């Protein structure tokens, strides 16, 4: 029998409780990393309950601390991180189709972009499959949740409970018994002193799990640390901690009663589908081979498709085409290597830049690469440009791949803005179908995979007369600052804060720090010291947004201290008010106006400056509906003969979409007049 030591559970439930064991628990929240992995590990690993986490979104609207991926590619990373976390804490993982469109300030805005009925239907399907006894939310169903997605997730959990309760008869008498909110001192500072009631459960979780050889809190924090793209790695916890569950709907339950499962292993089938290659395409002449492998890991025979499978016996069957398949190999050093076997297109296209920006009417060279994924070897690609653009290269690109040859072929296109170039996309087609781009996910903590995304490259004509200057870049958490500067014709010099010297700064017009550089890039204190005399003598320091958190790599940002807050403007169409329109940063080399803020995506900016000394001048003000105006999105100050600027605008999202105004703003940030 599985041993578990020093686990204490008690409830403050004084009224009548449901005197039946709670076997299945469905945990509901909005994003990957919202779930309480320690509590999930306690229920699943220590008590043998069946637990599932449903994340309404895949987190594609968030940030990425480990690489440059955003959007769908980031969503794929965060989905894989969630599944890796479940491998550790023992729960199941579900999703809905709710999009993560970035920070939302209230549930009304969230439900403007989420189909509430559709998501509820998907939650209902999950619940009917999992059949939970208890639903647990991470957030309250009101403004205390702090994020519109968070609030909406709790509201949907209550919707789910009400619907399943009403459908009890149609579900054979089954419905969840209650909905609880997994509250904490984050929301209620006096929980430890809360008076006993029949609506509050207090759980002490933790202790050493002898069968697993580690503590439950360690299991939970190791699962939590799988959310590496969000910077949630943490030192493993040990000992005990207290968790609280507040009744939101239904009848109180008694979680001190044991689970029905007790972690038994009398019957256990290990099964998965294996594929003979990591990807397949519809153009392949050989079909992919898929085999379902089943092994009886229990202590008793199990019936599989009408035949007994003895303990330790292995069975291989033809796999259903709807089941996901894994491509599994091994390495003598790393051991088992696995990745999902995914459907691929015959060709993918890749460019070195996320968008093509022409600043003058002259020919531009665009280098691109096609990668062959299909077994077929002959391809003829058509090139399409928007109206008003001249393609100075052949419209058809032919490639006859050699057997066993390089699967990658490079081409160079020459494109020129015509008399009236229209904003659009550079598109490549094969057999009339658009060729997509591939984002390769190559991280050690999740299986390697590819994400297929739109292959159209934004093509923009943004006329500017820019000086030929060199700009230094200190990398942050993966934006496209260096590429965007190169698109504008600036030379880029990459700077390493750990090694940079005054000599490295000679000849630089400006230095631009990447997003969250002061959170993630080591030795920014050292960089400040090297930059200070350079700024005083005439250099421009431009700092992109940094989060208002404790994980700073410098005591302050730049030579003039200012304080960050958590203010942001999430409406991408929020109207800017220019506070000093004639300021050099807004007037040179481009006259910035409201048109430069058209076509933005997801948000205006985040982590605005909250307080600043008189040396700084705020340049733009705006607000989300119903909120007071805020002025900390773009502040600048003179420092000696140079300037210091903090820019909390979400330029990094706009550059990828080819938003012209974001490029005009970038030019002003690094090359404005004195």
Q: What is the pLDDT of residue 83?
A: 95
Q: CA–CA distance from 185 to each of 27, 85, 144, 180, 254 (Å)?
A: 19, 24, 12, 16, 22
Residues 426 and 507 in one domain: no
Q: What is the pLDDT of residue 615?
A: 97
Q: What is the pLDDT of residue 469?
A: 93
Q: Is residue 131 part of a domain?
A: yes
Packed helices 148-166 and 116-130: angle between N→C axes, nearest 10 degrees: 60
Q: What is the pLDDT of residue 19?
A: 64
Which domain range does residue 122 map to?
24-250
Q: Is residue 258 part of a domain?
A: no
Q: Is residue 261 part of a domain?
A: no
Q: Can you give the CATH number for the domain in which 577 is found? A: 3.40.50.880
Residue 85's SS3 state is: helix
Q: What is the pLDDT of residue 224?
A: 92
| Chain center to CA of 504 | 34
Q: How many residues does the chain have?
A: 674
**Contact (Cβ atoms closer than 8 angstroms) between residue 477 and residue 549:** no
Residues 455 and 475 in one domain: no
Residue 83's SS3 state is: helix
Residues 559 and 454 in one domain: no
| Chain center to CA of 142 | 24
The answer, yes or no, to whether residue 1 has pLDDT greater than 50, is no
Residues 547 and 664 in one domain: yes
In 245-262, which positions are buried (b, 16+ CB within 10 angstroms) versus exposed (e)? bbbbbbebbbbebebeee
HEC profile of 554-621:
CCCCCCCCCEECCCCECCCCCCCEECCCCCHHHHCCCCCCHHHHCCCCCCCECCCEEECCCCEEECEE
Residue 190's SS3 state is: coil
Residues 228 and 287 in one domain: no
Q: Is residue 4 part of a domain?
A: no
The Cα–Cα gap between 553 and 250 comes to: 48
The answer, yes or no, to whether residue 226 has pLDDT greater than 50, is yes
The Cα–Cα gap between 319 and 108 comes to: 44
The Cα–Cα gap between 158 and 179 comes to: 7
Q: Is residue 5 part of a domain?
A: no
Q: Can you give the CATH number for the domain in which 128 is found? A: 3.40.50.10320
Q: What is the pLDDT of residue 332?
A: 67
Residues 355 and 301 in one domain: no
| Average pLDDT, integer, range 133-142 | 97
Q: Can you give the CATH number for the domain in which 432 is found? A: 2.60.40.10
Q: Measured between alpha carbons, how far apart are the two ends of the chain, in Å?
A: 76
Domain boundary among 295, 315, 343: 343
Exposed / middle / buried, residue 131 (Cβ in 10 Å: 0-12, 13-18, 19+): middle
168 or 190, which is more confident? 168
Q: Is residue 431 part of a domain?
A: yes
Residues 111 and 208 in one domain: yes
The Cα–Cα gap between 116 and 122 comes to: 10
Task: From 591, 491, 623, 607, select the one nearest 543 (Cα to Cα).
Answer: 607
Got the DSSP string for 367-413? EEEEEE-SS--EEEEEEE--TTEEE-S-SEEEEEPPTTS-SEEEEEE
Q: Which pLDDT tens digit goes with each residue over 81-109?
A: 999 999 999 999 999 999 999 999 999 99
What is this structure's pTM?
Answer: 0.78
| Average pLDDT, integer, range 384-407 | 89
Q: What is the pLDDT of residue 427?
A: 97
Q: Is residue 259 part of a domain?
A: no
The answer, yes or no, to whether residue 11 has pLDDT greater than 60, is no
Domain boundary among 343, 377, 402: 343
The Cα–Cα gap between 127 and 124 comes to: 5
Q: Which pLDDT tens digit goes with each residue over 454-479?
A: 999 999 999 998 988 999 999 998 78
- Mean pLDDT of the residues in the chain: 90
193-207, 254-268, 492-506, 621-635: segment of lowest average pLDDT: 254-268
The answer, yes or no, to whether residue 329 has pLDDT greater than 90, is no
Task: From 206, 181, 202, 182, select the one nearest 192 (Cα to Cα).
Answer: 202
Cis amide prior to 173 (ω within 30 degrees) = no
User: What secondary structure letter does DSSP report for 622?
Assistant: B
Task: From 566, 580, 657, select the one nearest 609 (Cα to Cα).
Answer: 566
Q: Which pLDDT tens digit goes with each residue over 420-430?
A: 999 999 999 99
Q: What is the pLDDT of residue 258?
A: 61
The Cα–Cα gap between 578 and 592 comes to: 9
* Residues whose CB falls within 8 Å of the CB of residue 120, separated by 6 or more in sequence, listed in order: 156, 159, 160, 163
The Cα–Cα gap between 306 and 300 comes to: 15
Residues 397 and 474 in one domain: no
Tokens representing residue 667 in the block: 């030019």
HEC profile of 213-226:
CEEHHHHHHHHHCC
Residues 597 and 567 in one domain: yes
338-352, 371-385, 501-515, 528-542: segment of lowest average pLDDT: 371-385
| Chain center to CA of 416 | 36
Task: From 439, 36, 474, select the one nearest 232 (Cα to Cα).
Answer: 36
Residues 334 and 211 in one domain: no
**Contact (Cβ atoms closer than 8 angstroms) between residue 618 and residue 577:** no
The answer, yes or no, to whether residue 127 has pLDDT greater than 80, is yes
Domain boundary among 250, 279, 311: 250
Task: From 484, 491, 483, 496, select the one nearest 510 (Cα to Cα).
Answer: 491
The Cα–Cα gap between 318 and 320 comes to: 7
Task: From 249, 267, 275, select the one nearest 341 (Cα to Cα).
Answer: 275
Q: What is the pLDDT of residue 14?
A: 38
Q: Tally the domains of the chain.
A: 4
Q: What is the pLDDT of residue 333?
A: 66
Q: What is the pLDDT of residue 144?
A: 93
Residues 317 and 410 in one domain: no
Residue 353's SS3 state is: coil
| Average pLDDT, integer, range 620-629 | 96
324 or 510, which is more confident? 510
Q: Which pLDDT tens digit goes with each residue over 536-570?
A: 999 999 999 999 888 899 999 999 999 999 999 99
| Chain center to CA of 527 | 29
The answer, yes or no, to whether residue 8 has pLDDT greater than 60, is no
| Average pLDDT, integer, range 567-575 | 96
Please report, rounded to a whole number, the percentage of residues in the chain having pLDDT higher than 70: 94
Q: Which pLDDT tens digit goes with each residue over 286-303?
A: 788 999 988 886 768 888
Residues 357 and 481 in one domain: no
Q: Which pLDDT tens digit goes with each residue over 472-513?
A: 999 998 788 999 999 999 999 999 999 999 999 999 999 999
Q: Is residue 141 part of a domain?
A: yes
pLDDT confidence bin for 9, thresholds 50/70/90: very low
The β-bridge relationship of strands 491-494 and 470-474 is parallel
273-277, 371-375, 505-509: segment of lowest average pLDDT: 371-375
The alpha helices in 245-381, defined as continuous H runs, are: none
């Amino acid at each position: 029998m599985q041993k578990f030591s020093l686990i204490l559970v008690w409830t403050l439930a004084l009224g009548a409780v449901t005197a039946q064991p709670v076997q299945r628990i469905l945990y509901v929240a909005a994003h990957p990393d919202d779930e309480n992995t320690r509590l999930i590990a306690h229920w699943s690993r220590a008590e043998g309950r069946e637990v599932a986490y449903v994340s309404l979104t895949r987190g594609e609207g968030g940030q990425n601390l480990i690489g440059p991926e955003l959007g769908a590619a980031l969503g794929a990373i965060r989905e894989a991180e969630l599944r890796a976390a479940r491998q550790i804490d023992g729960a199941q993982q579900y999703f809905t189709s709710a999009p993560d469109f970035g920070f939302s300030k209230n549930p009304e805005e969230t439900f403007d972009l989420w189909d509430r009925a559709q998501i509820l239907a998907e939650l209902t399907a999950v619940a009917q499959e999992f059949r939970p006894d208890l639903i647990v939310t991470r957030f309250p169903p009101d403004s205390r949740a702090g994020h519109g997605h968070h609030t909406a997730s709790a509201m949907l959990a209550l919707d789910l409970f009400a619907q399943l309760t009403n459908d009890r008869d149609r579900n054979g008498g089954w419905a969840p018994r209650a909905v609880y909110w997994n509250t904490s001192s984050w929301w209620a500072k006096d929980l430890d002193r809360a008076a006993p009631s029949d609506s509050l459960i207090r759980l002490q979780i933790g202790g050493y799990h002898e069968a697993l050889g580690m503590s439950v809190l360690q299991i939970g924090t190791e699962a939590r640390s799988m959310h590496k793209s969000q910077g949630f790695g943490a030192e493993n916890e040990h000992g005990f901690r207290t968790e609280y569950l507040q009744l939101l709907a239904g009848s109180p339950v008694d979680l001190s009663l044991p689970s029905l499962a007790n972690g038994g292993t009398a019957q256990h089938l290990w099964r998965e589908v294996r594929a003979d290659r990591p990807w397949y395409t519809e153009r392949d002449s050989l079909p992919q081979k898929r085999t379902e492998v089943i092994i009886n890991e229990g202590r008793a025979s199990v019936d599989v498709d009408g035949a007994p499978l003895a303990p330790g016996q292995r069975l291989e069957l033809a796999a259903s085409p709807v089941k996901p398949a894994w491509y599994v190999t091994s390495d003598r050093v790393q051991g088992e290597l696995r990745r999902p076997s995914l459907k691929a297109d015959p060709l993918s296209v890749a460019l070195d830049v996320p968008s093509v920006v022409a600043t003058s009417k002259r020919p531009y060279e665009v280098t691109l690469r096609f990668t062959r994924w299909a077994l077929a070897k002959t391809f003829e690609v058509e090139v399409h440009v928007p109206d008003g653009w001249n393609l100075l290269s052949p419209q058809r690109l032919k490639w006859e791949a050699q057997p066993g040859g390089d699967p990658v072929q490079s081409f160079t296109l020459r494109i020129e803005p015509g008399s009236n170039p229209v904003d659009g996309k550079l598109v490549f087609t094969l057999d009339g179908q658009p060729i997509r781009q591939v984002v390769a996910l190559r991280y050690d903590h999740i299986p390697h995979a590819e994400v297929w995304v739109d292959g159209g490259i934004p093509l923009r004509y943004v006329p500017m007369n820019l000086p030929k200057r060199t700009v230094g870049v200190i990398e942050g958490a993966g934006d496209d600052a260096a590429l965007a500067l190169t698109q504008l014709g600036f030379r880029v010099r990459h700077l390493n804060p750990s090694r940079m010297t005054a000599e490295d700064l000679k000849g630089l017009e400006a230095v631009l720090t990447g997003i969250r550089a002061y959170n993630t890039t080591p030795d920014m204190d050292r960089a400040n010291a090297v930059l200070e005399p350079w700024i005083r003598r005439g250099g421009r320091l431009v700092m992109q947004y940094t989060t208002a958190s404790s994980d700073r790599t410098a005591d302050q940002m730049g030579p003039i201290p200012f304080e960050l807050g958590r203010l942001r403007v999430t409406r991408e169409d929020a109207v800017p008010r220019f506070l000093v329109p004639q300021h050099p940063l807004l007037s040179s080399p481009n006259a910035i106006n409201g048109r430069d803020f058209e076509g933005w995506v997801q948000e205006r900016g985040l982590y605005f400056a909250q307080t600043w000394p008189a040396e700084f001048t705020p340049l733009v003000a705006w607000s989300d509906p119903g909120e007071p105006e805020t002025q900390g999105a773009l502040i600048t100050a003179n420092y000696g003969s140079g300037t210091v600027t903090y820019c909390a605008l979400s330029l990094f999202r706009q550059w990828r979409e080819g938003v012209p105004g974001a490029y005009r703003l970038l030019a002003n940030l690094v090359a404005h007049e004195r």
